[in-house]
Amino acid sequence: MNKLTPEQERIIVHKGTESPYSGEYDSFFEDGVYVCRRCETPLYRSDSKFSSGCGWPSFDSEIENAVHRIPDSDGRRVEIVCSHCEGHLGHVFEGERFTPKDTRHCVNSLSMQFISTLKK
């Protein structure tokens, strides 16, 4: 497991949320893969990322078997966690019609790390 900063730990371990529009990946669109910041499990491909205007990175699908959905403690939402380390990623919403897949994974930037697939 990677060492986390106090803020990353607040979000990933203690299920916090970063402020909207503050994350480094909110308006970031490059070719690559997003991995779990805690354990480096690949979570999302850049081709599933879209702009939802919600203030957090949004994806309409995850890499197969990378993300688990669990009921949130608030009883209204569905939390998403890394399937390997169970680190908190954010929440998933359905029925908003942003994309044909009709799913939005709303993910904290601090929960992920981007790895470019562009050759240098």
The reply to whether 82 belongs to the active site is: no
- List the catalytic residue out of 36, 39, 82, 106: 106
**Structure tokens, 49:** 């990322």
Calpha distance 89→70 (Å, rounded): 11
> Collapsing DSSP states into helix, strand and coil, what is residue 111?
helix
Calpha distance 36→86 (Å, rounded): 10
Catalytic residues: 106
